[in-house]
Amino acid sequence: MLEKKKKKTTSTIESFEIYPLNEIIFNKSLQEIIDSITKDCEEIPNFVANDIQDLENYENIEKMSNYIKYISDDYYCFLEYLDQKIVFYDDYQKIEENFIQLSSDLGNYLESIKIPKNLDLFYYFDFPNIFYTAK
C-alpha cells in the first residue's frame, strides 16, 4: 500500500485479482438480439451494421454494453453485487466535472450519428446512480 501524501510504502500486497472490465451474459439467443435491434431501426445505420457484425463474430465485445437492453432483461451496476461498499475518491469534484464533460461530448456524438429514434442504446449508468448505489 502507498501513503499518498508522503509517497511512502506502508505495507506490501502479496496478491490481488483483476476482474474483467465487461462481462455480458446473454439470456437470449444471438438471433433474437439481432432481430430486436434491427426491428427498432427503420434503416440500419452503418455503425449499427458494424456493431451487429461484431456481435455475430464476438469481436469488440466492450461495445456490446451499448445494446445491453437487447441482450439481457436484467442488467446491473457492478456495485450492486458488493455487500460492503467502500469507495475512495481521490478528487470527487474532478470526477463530477469529467462526467459532465463526457455527457456533453456523448450528446454531441449521438446527435451526429443520427441514431434511429426507436433504438434504445445504453452508454453508461449516470453519475448520480453510481454514487447513490455506492452508499
Tens of pLDDT, residue by residue over 61-116, are 777 878 888 887 776 666 666 677 666 667 878 888 888 888 888 778 777 777 88
Task: Kindly indicate the confidence band of residue 35, based on its pLDDT and cuts at 50, 70 and 90.
Answer: very high
Residue type, 36: S
Q: Check if the beta carbon of residue 38 is closer than 8 Å to that of residue 44.
A: yes
Nearest alpha-carbon partner for 76 in 14, 133, 26: 133
Q: How many other β-carbons are positioned within 10 Å of the β-carbon of residue 71?
A: 22
Boundaries of every domain in the chain: 25-134
pTM beyond 0.75, yes or no:
no
Residues 6+ apart with CB under 8 A from 65: 22, 24, 122
Q: Are strands 2-3 and 8-9 parallel, antiparallel or unpaired?
A: antiparallel
Residue 83 DSSP class? S
Tens of pLDDT, residue by residue over 8-27, are 777 777 776 766 655 667 77
Cell of 95: 470526477
